[in-house]
Each structure stands twice: as structure tokens, then as C-alpha cells.
Amino acid sequence: MSTQKLNETSKFLSYVLRHEPQAIGLQLDREGWANVDELIAGAVRNGKTLDFSLIEKIVSTSDKKRFNLSEDGKRIRAAQGHSTASVNIQHTEKTPPEFLYHGTATRFLESIRQKGLIAGSRHHVHLSQEVMTAISVGQRYGEPVVLKIEAQHMHRQGFNFFQAENGVWLTKNVPYNFIASEK
């Protein structure tokens, strides 16, 4: 299987497990889990090539550990990044490190300065512990810029932080006054 085919299938899994499960008649539970057999059947019904060994390969090679497969291999979910209203994962609440980073594109800065960071269609704003991760996230939308977030300061002010199973930090929104720098 070519890398391109794997990437395409990974994107398809992100699409149905984070955003549009109904596109293939799939149901996710509140914690985001789908039945693997139903996922495969729904995908095949919609003209995709998918079987268990391909799912296992995508799960184990995902650079960002995007997916969790249950130990018995019967259920799968996206670790984070959801927009579908049917899912409400109870992510682990945690005290964040002093600073976290958010990668975005320079063209969004003006609006971010006005409204702060907002989740948009997703359930949370996504933050990372590493600057490099933030740069690559920002590059997806244009010229990247990394925002340094005063995460512990926010936490002391009562904002909740969560860490998904794949290490991505999540919070509902980041008011602009907690952005320490734009680089």
C-alpha cells in the first residue's frame, strides 16, 4: 500500500471519526468510539477500500497518534479534534505547563487579536508543548506564526485544560491577553 493511499485513508478516518460519521451511516458513542466492523462496512458501502489490517496499519503509523484502537480491536476513535455534536469526550483535566503553543497562519492574526483563539467548528482550541509542532500546524493554512500562550496563568484564573491521549492540549478558548508573543 502506497504512502499516498495510507494518507488518504487516514484523512477519511479523521473525517468520519471526528466530523461526519453519518456520511457513512456510522454511530459514535459520547466518548467517540465506533464499532470497527460497522466502520469497515460503512466505508466499503461508500466505495472505500478498508479492512482491519489497513486500520491497524494507519493507527500504528499515525505520526500524531490520531486514533485509539481498543485492546480487543473492536472499537476505534479519534483521540481529539472532533466537531460532531454526538461526541463529548471527557478528556483528562490537567494543570498545563507554564507555556503552551498554538500554530496559526499570519492571515488569521487580526481576527485573533480581536477575538482571542476560538475553537471554531471543533470542540476545543488545540495547543502543543513543542514549538515545532505548532509551526507545522500553522503551515497548513499559510505563512505560519506561533503564539505563545500563558497556560498556567490562564489555569490560575480558572480556565480548564485537558490533555488528549495523544498529548495534544485542549482548552475552550484563549482570550488575547494570555498570548505572550507572536513569532
Binding site for ligand HQG (CB under 6 A): 14, 64, 66, 81, 104-105, 108, 111-112, 115, 117-118, 120, 122, 126, 137, 141, 168
Q: Which is nearer to ligand HQG, 4 or 72 (CB)?
A: 4
- Who contacts 111 (Cβ-Cβ below 8 Å, separation ≥6)? none
Query: What is the Cα–Cα distance from 19 to 121, expressed in whole angstroms?
Result: 9
CB of 71 to ligand HQG, least distance (A): 23
CB of 13 to ligand HQG, least distance (A): 10
Helices 3-14 and 52-61 pack at an angle, to 10 degrees, of: 90
CB of 28 to ligand HQG, least distance (A): 17
Q: Which is nearer to ligand HQG, 43 or 168 (CB)?
A: 168
Q: Which is nearer to ligand HQG, 42 or 103 (CB)?
A: 103
Measured CA to CA in angstroms, residue 120 lies from 10, 82, 115, 124, 172 at distances of 22, 11, 11, 8, 10
Q: What are phi and psi of 153, to 5 degrees?
A: -60, -45
Q: Which is nearer to ligand HQG, 37 or 60 (CB)?
A: 60
